[in-house]
Amino acid sequence: MAEQKVAIVTGSSSGIGAAIATRLANEGYRVVVNSARSVAEGRALAASLPAATYVQADVSDEAQARALIATAAEQHGRIDVLVNNAGTTKVVPHDDLEAVTPQVWWDILSLNVLGTWQVSVAAVPHLSKSATPGNIVNISSVAGTRPVGSSIPYAVSKAAVNHLTRLLAAAVGPGIRVNSVAPALTETAWTADDPFFRAIADKCRESTPLRRVGTAEDVADTVSALLRLDHMTGAVLPVDGGAALI
């Protein structure tokens, strides 16, 4: 019997990350759940999944990003999949330029872009040993491809993640595939509580071709599919219910 593959999902104590971790565990992966702060939630999720473990780490910090990968490799003996889901934003109207301070830029870019980079670099030596080959899946956003999003820094960070996906795919093939999933607004407990996101959800229900808001499970479906598409790398797949068509 083949040894179970191992998948790390950053930022997976809740929301999209938790849905991805759950899906992969149900498909037979040994999953490493991660969060920077929600330790109790992360441990509870890992305890609910077969053969899963939890590692606390803030991936925007290089030492912690490297420690996450080293700990996962030590616990499980291999790494086959890395899902870079950890991210953050700050809701700032795009025309409120003064509100976007250098600190806002740094808070968003350091996690969304630098964090993705740091974990990926640390994971590459392990992923390159996977026989399938190894996989990196970056969770991006439609804000990285269109002039939308919760703030300009957030949109810029996701555009950077999309281009990083293409550059990494070219750099680490053929032993590792790198792809990105770009959701539109996705229903989570966090987005449901914010008036900005509720307004977008109402628009999605009224005007997108599929007339609904995406779910965390929709994103998990796409990640799962990407892991089976062996001839795809450097792709940015929208999960937007046709929002780009309006």
The three-point CA angle 73-46-28 to 5° equals: 70
Helix (H) or strand (E) holding 38: none
Residue from 154, 172, 197, 204 carrying the catalytic annotation:
154
* Phi–psi pair at 29, nearest 5 degrees: -75, 150
**DSSP letter (8 states) at residue 21:** H
Closest CA to 41 of 66, 69, 12, 61: 12
Helix segments in the chain, DSSP class H: 15-26, 39-48, 62-76, 102-109, 116-127, 152-172, 189-192, 195-207, 216-228
Q: Is 242 left (phi over 0), alpha (psi -120 to 50) or beta?
A: left
CA 226, CA 66: separation in Å to the nearest integer? 25
154 is catalytic: yes
Q: CB atoms < 10 A from the CB of 233, how many?
A: 22
Enter the tokens of residue 108.
């968003």
Which residues are marked as active site?
Answer: 154
